[in-house]
Amino acid sequence: MLDILDKGVCDSRMIRQALSKYIGAEITIKYNLGRNKYEIYKAKITNLYNCVFLVEVLDENKSVKSFSYADIITKTIKIFDK
pLDDT of residue 55: 97
Edge-to-edge strand order for the sheet containing 77-81? 64-68, 52-57, 37-48, 26-34, 77-81
Is residue 81 predicted with pLDDT exceeding 90?
no
Is residue 77 predicted with pLDDT exceeding 90?
yes
- Looking up residue 29, the CATH number of its domain turns out to be 2.30.30.100
Longest dimension (CA), the chain: 38
* Domains: count for the chain: 1
pLDDT in tens, 26-64: 999 999 999 999 999 999 999 999 999 999 999 988 899
Give the residue numbers spanning the domain of 18.
5-81
Q: Are strands 52-57 and 64-68 parallel, antiparallel or unpaired?
A: antiparallel
pLDDT of residue 31: 96
pLDDT of residue 42: 96
